[in-house]
Amino acid sequence: MCEKEHLIKLEKYCAYQERCHQEVRLKAQKMGIARIDVDEAMLHLIKNNFLNEERFAMLFARSKMNQKRWGPIKIEIELRKKQIGQRLIEKSIGEISPVDFQKNANYLANKFIASKSLDLKNYIHTQKLRVFLVSKGYSFDLINKILLKL
């Protein structure tokens, strides 16, 4: 396959959904593109606005918060796994209102309590809820506030 065909495939890959630089590099390597050519392809994709890490980070944070109801801690961890810079991580999470995170945490807590028939007077049940909310990426302070309200 020639270089133009590789570029077209990478353009389609980026146009289908937002991608981070790491995902595109891995895709290019799987396609068998040499490292020197990968850098040139990345430059081409950035110049033609197929690839934008800031746009990716913003969209990733909003979509994970809305669709999977992740908390800020889990979003940050996942963005770090994708090798996004700390400044972009802070900016993307900062764009989301803390009230939205609190609403999601309340929703998840109520849903978890209802599905497991938990009695929050029981310490073990309270701990199960805490572990669940921590796994979703919420801070201990927020979890404690929610438990006090329930």
The domain spans of the chain are 3-47, 53-94, 98-149
Give the helix ranges, DSSP H, for 19-139.
21-30, 35-47, 53-67, 72-81, 86-94, 98-116, 123-135
Q: Give, in words, the CATH class of 98-149.
A: mainly alpha
Distance of alpha carbon 13 from alpha carbon 115, whole angstroms: 39
Nearest to 40 by CA among 4, 88, 1, 15: 4
The whole-model pTM stands at 0.91
- Tally of CB atoms within 10 A around 79: 24
pLDDT tens-place string over residues 91-102: 999 999 999 999
pLDDT tens-place string over residues 6-39: 999 999 999 999 999 999 999 999 999 888 889 9
The C-alpha R_g of the chain, in whole angstroms, comes to 20
pLDDT tens-place string over residues 61-81: 999 999 999 999 999 999 999
